[in-house]
Structure 1
């Protein structure tokens, strides 16, 4: 695979990863209705939503890694680079 193809795939993965992060951030900002007596507490629901968001993110990331045949080390390097550049928190 030549360098241009690698760069194109990297950009596609970066764009898809950014989109997945936006979706996670968007779902985090949704409001939650007040709990009823038989419904879990607000904190329990928040924790459950966070677990679901994390699981969704992990599934999407794994699918992208499989689609682009990227090893975990490459994705880890990408994540560290994005954090260092201030692109993600």
Structure 2
């Protein structure tokens, strides 16, 4: 690539960059400029972690119910009792 071609490409790039800056300075500019992957809020991350913990708890509870042959009603009564006594939140 000769020097003229390099200079032409540089000017095109410079012009495009200048145009983008002018567009950004306009009020209410609605440019669709990719800024990377969407950022998830801390609340969304915490909610997802809480859901994962709940699913893990339910899986463990079901495994224990199966291992000790305890019906759903029995376990529900036990959990209500523990909650009433303040042993679980």
TM category (shorter chain) comes to 0.5 to 0.7
Distance in structure 1 (CA, Å) of the matches to 2:87 and 2:51: 23
CA deviations over 1:3-48 (Å, ceiling 9, x no partner): xxxxxxxxxxxxxxxxxxxxxxxxxxxxxxxxxx644211111111
Q: Which runs of 5+ in 1 are unaligned?
A: 1-36
> Where do 4+ consecutive residues of structure 1 move more than 3 Å?
none
Please say which structure displays the higher CA radius of gyration. 2
How do 1:4-83 residues align onto structure 2 when only pairs under 5 Å count? 38-83=38-83
Distance in structure 1 (CA, Å) of the matches to 2:43 and 2:83: 28
RMSD (Å) for aligned C-alpha atoms? 1.7
Distance in structure 1 (CA, Å) of the matches to 2:73 and 2:87: 19
Question: How many aligned residue pairs are there?
Answer: 54
Q: CA deviation at 1:57?
A: 0.5
| Normalised TM-score (structure 2) | 0.55
> Larger RCO: Structure 1 or Structure 2 (Cα < 8 Å, ≥ 6 residues apart)?
1
Q: Which runs of 5+ in 2 are unaligned?
A: 1-36
Distance in structure 1 (CA, Å) of the matches to 2:66 and 2:83: 22
